[in-house]
Chain A
Amino acid sequence: MKKNVKKSKGVKFFLLSGITLGLILILIFIITSSGRQTFNAPQKAVFDLVGRGQQIVTSVTRNLTDVFTSYSSLLDVREENQKLREELARFKTVNNEYLEAVATNVRLANLLELKESLPAPTLTVEIVGRDKTMWFRTVYINRGGSDGIRQGMPVVTVEGVVGQILNVSPHFSKVLLANDPTSAIDVLIQKNRTHGIIKGIGAEGYQLHYILKKSAIEKSDTIVTSGLDGVFPKGLPVGTVSSVVKNRRGMFQKISIQPAVDFAELEYLIVIMRENSLVK
């Protein structure tokens, strides 16, 4: 009996030692592979498999929500329909004018023999899941490497900057949101072209760093991307200044930024398919 108890204790000790050793090995691995963000083949497979599950659940939930919303808004639909028809007619005219302007622009550019500067192609993607922890800010989208998405590509909405592609599997990708503490973007203050770097601070938005005290910056000033980080094209809206604090000590101001996008309401995103991203 005593022998059995001793044996069992020995096995437990052996297993716990094994787990501890495993922990140490993983810790060594994490330290040595710090900065490595590319998924290996099994990780890609799991990401695709679970991503498929997330896509199905999101699709079902969205359909159910849509049915409910459609039903509740059925009463206003006729009036809204009329309004939309009028708006459509107006936008068709505007669109024709726009197409004409683009055609003229291209003709003139050709005449002037201007090279390049066509905007990069874009891809509209849908969010299928979100990070559940309070420590990180990432979302998962329904397009991946097979659609041409690569690590480091910028992700935006019509409102402004959202983040960048962090990991890619064949059919799904992970997007690091700009308000994640590990995210940093090179930006400009639009009115005086002062450079700074915004870093994510979670739900509160961003903090703008390295703006000297002598630089004139006020509440509601617009912040745009500088294009110098090699990730985001120049001039995309990032946010507006929500508070400026000048401490007595130090060289820089403490500036909080209200993001241009509402991260809680994101559903569809636009990936800018820039091939030569500097971030790998």
Chain B
Amino acid sequence: MLIGCFFTLGVFLFILQTTVFQLFPPWLGRMDPLFVLLVFIAFHLKIFPGAFLILLFGLIMDIFLGVFSGLYPIIFLTLFCFIQWLSRLIIINEPPQQIFLVLISFMFTNFINFIFINLLVPENPPKWIWETILVQLFMLAVITVPLFKMYELMLAKLRHKKSSRVFSGKKKINRFKD
């Protein structure tokens, strides 16, 4: 149930990002709610369902994005391991930590992507464009907190927990990762 819901949400976000978001101005169209979902899944879900979902998304991205088969499952599973390692260091689940986690994961993913493409297309290597990266980082920083709240609410509902406090504005008693 939990895996199915997050998977459907991810596919829906992917469809939105490849269609509607493309009509927006470039800077606004670079919002990446799916990436925030991936980080959320890797950070909050247990290892097995988390890795399974991330691999599933990697396989789907592999069909749609890019030209090299097998690239995205590797990148996403590497990202999963990276977040698993980071989550041992970041045990507090508060907005500043969430933003930091998403931004550093985004940089990590793009860096891995950049390295792979450089290895696979050495005759015409891609350019690392800081301007685009920074715009994407800014957009991610803006959307991370509300999206994390939304995903937390969804996760809580799916786990049949009382979730009314998520949007109540009150400080959570437990500030640590569940």
Contacts and interface: CB of A to CB of B under 8 A. Distances in A.
A43 B59 CA distance: 9
A65 B77 CA distance: 38
Interface stretch (A83-91, A99-107, A134-142, A225-233): A134-142
Interface stretch (B14-22, B137-145, B155-163, B170-178): B14-22
Nearest to B62: A43
Contact of B64 (A26, A34, A36, A131): A131
A257 interface: no
Given A19-B80, A36-B69, A181 B18 contact: no
Contact of A47 (B12, B51, B64): B64
Nearest to B60: A46
Interface string A119-147: 00000000011111111101010000000
A174 interface: yes
Contacts of A199: 123-124
Contact of A39 (B19, B63, B110, B113): B63
Interface string A40-63: 000100110010011001100100
Interface in B3-36: 11-12, 14-23, 30, 32, 34
A-side interface mostly: mixed
Contacts of B151: none
Given A37-B69, A53-B15, A182-B121, A134 B22 contact: no
A20 to B, nearest CB: 7
A113 to B, nearest CB: 45
B149 to A, nearest CB: 23
B55 to A, nearest CB: 8
A132 B21 contact: yes
Contacts of A200: 124
B47 A15 contact: yes
A278 interface: no
Contacts of B73: 26
Contacts of B133: 134
Chain A CB within 10 A, most for which of B32, B68, B120: B68
A202 B121 CA distance: 14
B63 A46 contact: yes
B18 A130 contact: yes
B19 A138 contact: no
A50 B127 contact: no
8 contacts: A30-B68, A46-B63, A57-B16, A129-B15, A129-B18, A132-B14, A134-B133, A201-B124
The 5 closest A-B pairs by CB, nearest first: A30-B70, A129-B18, A136-B66, A57-B19, A53-B15
